[in-house]
């Protein structure tokens, strides 16, 4: 046998040996894993696609707000969302586009309106149940329950006869994202002691500029006791427009001092709200919220 045949035979023998070894290994794997299919778990298959926000549900609808809500802010523009529909009645949430007030209503009836009004769904299983917040009050409302809907009215105060609700809404000259909203119920001249009440209201509103203070009593104002006003206001207390202008100017000056006038340094939205609503009145008492 030639040397070449010897080398070829060795190579072929080596290849056969390697093939038999591979077959043996494969056999062992088959023997060990012949029941493996019982434990197999299909790997999840993920499909990726670019999010198209045009497909998202748009809850904002086009509906007119009740006349009594329009009367509070004549000419205002409103953003309106649907809360839920129960028994053919749709309950809606509205905010005016200048962030002066918020409301919950049906297409015909105003249920609650307040500058701080917000709501949250309790869970996705019971969409008719929401939590409503206004000021320091929190109320859980199930729109399937008529008594719950009536309780919504306790969160807001309608304007009492003999009183008028004034609103002053201003944006800062240096940035329209800085806003000051004031809402105060003033007594008409037909209300007894209206001048003293008006002066007391002004001192309470001005006190909001100086942080927590012990507010003057209405009795002290009636008796012409001097109250130390730390706000720096020099005008007449019974001039409500002057008081409102001073409050707004002071707030804007504070914002300007802290952030400056450069647009990029000012937060996305800054606003101050002062709301004083008359809740109860008789010959002896007046109660404000």
**pLDDT of residue 96 exceeding 80:** yes
Q: Which of 168, 150, 210, 160 minimizes the C-alpha distance to 188?
A: 160
Q: What is the pLDDT of residue 225?
A: 60
* Whole-Å CA distances, 130 to 83, 110, 143, 199, 250: 9, 17, 8, 40, 38
Distance, in Å, from the CA atom of 205 to the CA atom of 182, rounded to the nearest integer, reads: 9
**pLDDT of residue 282 exceeding 70:** yes
Dump pLDDT digits (tens) for 171-226: 999 988 898 989 899 999 999 888 888 988 888 898 888 776 666 677 666 666 66
**pLDDT of residue 33 exceeding 70:** no
Q: What is the pLDDT of residue 72?
A: 78
Q: What is the pLDDT of residue 92?
A: 94
- Tell me the two tokens of residue 246: 């001073």
pTM for this predicted structure: 0.60
Most confident region among 69-73, 79-83, 216-220 by mean pLDDT: 79-83
Give the containing element (helix H, strand E) for 222. helix 218-222
Arithmetic mean of pLDDT, 106-128:
87
Give the containing element (helix H, strand E) for 251. helix 240-259
Distance, in Å, from the CA atom of 249 to the CA atom of 170, rounded to the nearest integer, reads: 10
């Amino acid at each position: 046998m030639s040397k070449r045949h010897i080398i070829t035979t060795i190579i072929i023998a080596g290849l056969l040996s390697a093939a038999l070894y591979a077959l043996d290994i494969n056999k062992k794997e088959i023997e060990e894993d012949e029941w493996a299919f019982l434990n197999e778990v299909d790997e999840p298959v993920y499909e990726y696609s670019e999010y198209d926000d045009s497909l998202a549900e748009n809850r904002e609808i086009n509906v007119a707000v009740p006349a009594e809500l329009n009367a509070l802010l004549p000419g205002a523009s409103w953003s309106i969302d649907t809360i839920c529909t129960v028994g053919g009645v749709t309950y809606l949430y509205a905010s005016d586009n200048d962030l002066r007030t918020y409301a919950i209503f049906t297409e015909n009836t105003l249920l609650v309106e307040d500058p701080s009004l917000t709501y949250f769904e309790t869970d996705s299983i019971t969409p008719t149940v929401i939590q409503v917040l206004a000021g320091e009050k929190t109320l859980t409302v199930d729109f399937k329950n008529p008594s719950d809907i009536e309780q919504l009215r306790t969160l807001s105060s309608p304007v009492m006869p003999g009183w008028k609700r004034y609103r002053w809404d201003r944006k800062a000259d240096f940035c329209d994202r800085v806003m000051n909203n004031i809402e105060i119920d003033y007594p008409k001249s037909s209300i007894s002691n209206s001048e003293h009440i008006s002066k007391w209201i002004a001192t309470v509103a001005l006190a909001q500029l100086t942080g927590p203070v012990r507010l003057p009593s209405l009795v002290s104002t009636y008796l012409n006791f001097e109250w130390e006003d730390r706000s720096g206001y020099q005008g007449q207390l019974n001039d409500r427009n002057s008081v409102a202008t001073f409050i707004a100017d002071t707030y804007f000056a504070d914002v300007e001092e802290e952030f400056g006038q450069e647009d990029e340094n000012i937060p996305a939205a800054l606003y101050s709200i002062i709301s004083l609503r008359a809740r109860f009145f008789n010959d002896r008492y007046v109660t404000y919220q």
